[in-house]
Amino acid sequence: MHIHWFFVTISTLVTFALLLMLVRWIGSTQLTQLTYFNWVAGSSMGNLAANMMSTTDRTAWVTSGFSLIVFTLATVVAAFIALKSREFRRITNGEPIVLIHKGVLLRGNLRQTKVNLDVLMMMLREKGYFDYADIEYGILEPTGNLSILPTQASQSVSKADLVKGPDLSPKGQGPFIEIVIDGGIDEDKLQSTGHDRAWLEQVLRAHQVRSLQDVMYLAVNEEGEVILDAHRRDDSDHPLT
């Protein structure tokens, strides 16, 4: 029993030192796991190190340690190849993809990146923007971050805007509340604005929208002013990646 715990203690300390040395060998970018490549390398090395720390068999420990060293060597070689070959970088790291072009959502690119509209709006709010019509370009980076270029007409967000949302209306009628996102109705928010389904259908008819499924985004403020995005255009009109 005492030998067992002694072996576990020593193997854990040695594994920690070995893993620290190997990560330093790979480079500092591994610490942030910036891309798919870094994420796969980091998670795989962590699993191999966990196997080393959890085993009580010396042969299994040596085998896992050897696998960890070989995998690290493969990671270093792949990183070196990526420095020399842009095509290899495209395969391992991916490329930035345009999600918003001149205030228009590129739904084909959204499907490609598996990013739904709720997540995109959250990422925009984190940047201080509550309406994608204010965005000239919105680009999803290989790291998962959203880079945006706002339009010149967009305004900065105040502290009060962060509570209820910014005043997007030209006459200052108050912040907008999202009612429809990606063809789905938020019934609670619809009721909170004092409107019902009949009003919503009337708005769709007024904007010549045939079906609720065609609505990408619909919001209304306290004065009844509506922001509606019902773009049915093909994303091939904006072949941006």
Half-sphere exposure of 33 (CA within 13 A, CB side): 10
Query: What confidence score (pLDDT) does residue 162 get?
Result: 43
pLDDT band at 67 (very low <50, low <70, confident <90, very high): confident
219 strand-pairing partners: 178, 227
Domain spanning 97-237: CATH superfamily: bsu07140 like domains (3.30.240.20)
pLDDT digits (tens, 9 = 90+) for 5-55: 777 778 788 888 887 777 777 765 554 445 666 677 777 787 888 888 877
- What are the residue boundaries of the structural domains of the chain, listed by start? 2-92, 97-237
93 contact partners, CB below 8 Å, separation of at least 6: 35, 36, 37, 82, 142
pLDDT of residue 107: 82
45/71 Cα distance (integer angstroms): 8
pLDDT at 228 (0 to 100): 86
d(CA 241, CA 96): 7
Residue-level pLDDT at 191: 86
Percent of residues, the chain, with pLDDT higher than 90: 1
- Measured CA to CA, the distance from residue 212 to residue 100 in angstroms comes to 21
Nearest in space to 147 (alpha carbons), one of 155, 159, 139, 157: 139
- pLDDT (0 to 100) of residue 239: 43
pLDDT band of residue 86 (cuts 50, 70, 90) is: confident
| Entry field: residues in the chain | 241
Least confident of 3-7, 69-73, 222-226: 3-7
At which residue do the structure tokens 């993809």 appear? Answer: 97
In angstroms, the CA 29 to CA 100 distance is 28
**Residue 83 burial (C-beta neighbours within 10 Å; 0-12, 13-18, 19+):** exposed
159: closest CA among 128, 205, 188? 128
Q: Which two tokens stand for residue 97?
A: 């993809």
Task: Outline where the chain has alpha helix (H).
Answer: 2-26, 29-32, 36-54, 58-84, 86-93, 107-113, 117-126, 161-164, 187-192, 197-206
* Radius of gyration from C-alpha coordinates of the chain: 26
From CA 89, how far away is CA 76, in angstroms rounded? Answer: 14
Q: Looking at residue 1, what is its pLDDT?
A: 47
57: tokens are 């068999």
pLDDT at 154 over 80: no
Write down the pLDDT at residue 237: 43
Q: How far is CA 20 from the centre of its chain?
A: 29
Q: What is the pLDDT of residue 211?
A: 84
Q: Is the pLDDT of residue 101 over 50?
A: yes
Least confident residue range of 74-83, 133-142, 191-200: 74-83
Q: What is the average pLDDT score of the chain?
A: 76
- Cα gap 105→98, rounded to integer Å: 9
pTM over 0.85: no
Choose the most confident range, by mean pLDDT, from 132-136, 158-162, 173-177.
132-136
- Taken in order 232, 237, 238, 241, is the CA torsion positive or negative? positive
